[in-house]
A = this chain, B = another copy of it.
Amino acid sequence: VTAAVPLFERLAIIGLGLIGGSIALAARARGLAAEIVACDPQVGSLAEAIASGIIEQGYSSAATAVRGADGVLLAAPVRTNLRLLREIAPALRDGAFVMDLGSTKREMVAAMAELPPHARAVGGHPMAGKEVSGLSAAEPGLFNGATFALCRTGRTGDNAAALAEALATGVGARPLWLDATAHDDLVARVSHLPYIMAAALAHAAAPEGAARALAASGYRDTSRLAYSDPDMMLDILLTNAPSIRAALASATAALAALDELLEATDEHALRAWMEEARRRR
């Protein structure tokens, strides 16, 4: 399906990894932008993307990439996006629409409020990912049916909000407006905590030797996220520490409660603990 009128004349995607690459592929497939350019530190990714017709131009400088662009997407890890936002701010075309695609929103939304008043900016977070990263893992259907969280900033007028929704819908996702703090609290529980539990499981149970033969699909699925990209996860942990620590405290309390019940051989309460977990899932 190609959009009748592209949302952007020139869309600049800063960071051409799994998310940026998938957005580029989806935008190209659906005709969301007349021209797509990208910036990435990996020159090979840019060359590959140009060769396969995903983007028209590649740049090593973000400020150069955004010049003349009416749409700018920040698709690097969160702290890199924060640095890039400061870097591109003076180079933004008048009225440019800027959206980040990072996994935490509080710091970014605060930073976007400091953009030049002419800029339009929305915080975005498509809830899709894989435990593998990089342009080679990108796919145009990555966001199909996924929730696309959107957060208003000090630079979000009605027009920018409508454009953000059109972009989210355009790549196949379902837009969901959330306050940045509510977003960060929620994803701490349903996204960052699952990573942490998977990683703690990997710390406690490396499948080596006989353990490898005994590890079945249960171990595999529960520990899958332990393989997440450390660069991406580090930025998430560092920009959402308070919410993540609160979620972690809930999980640790549940584990401590279970351990006490095991020590006491409290059959009735053990069953209740398990039934409650099952009910909540």
The residues of A with any CB-CB pair to B shorter than 8 Å are 127-129, 146-147, 149, 174, 176, 178, 182-183, 186-187, 189-191, 193-207, 210-211, 213-219, 221-228, 230, 233-234, 237-238, 241, 244-245, 247-256, 258-259, 262-263, 265, 267, 270-271, 273-278, 280-281
Whether A205 touches B230, Cβ cut-off 8 Å, given contacts A221-B221, A222-B222, A259-B248, is no
Whether A241 touches B265, Cβ cut-off 8 Å, given contacts A190-B211, A251-B255, is yes
Contacts of A203 in B (CB 8 A): 250-251, 254, 273, 276-277, 280
Whether A278 touches B189, Cβ cut-off 8 Å, given contacts A203-B254, A248-B255, A248-B259, is no
User: Which one, B225, B244, B250, B263, contacts A221 given CB within 8 A?
Assistant: B225
Contact A227 B281 (CB under 8 A): yes
Contact A216 B128 (CB under 8 A): yes
Pairs A-B, 6 closest by C-beta atoms: A199-B277, A189-B205, A204-B250, A203-B254, A194-B222, A206-B280
Contact A252 B248 (CB under 8 A): no
Q: Give the complex CA separation of A226 and B14 in angstroms.
A: 39
* Shortest distance from the beta carbon of A248 to any chain B beta carbon, whole Å: 6
User: Which one, B186, B241, B281, contacts A210 given CB within 8 A?
Assistant: B186
User: Which one, B190, B238, B254, contacts A199 given CB within 8 A?
Assistant: B254
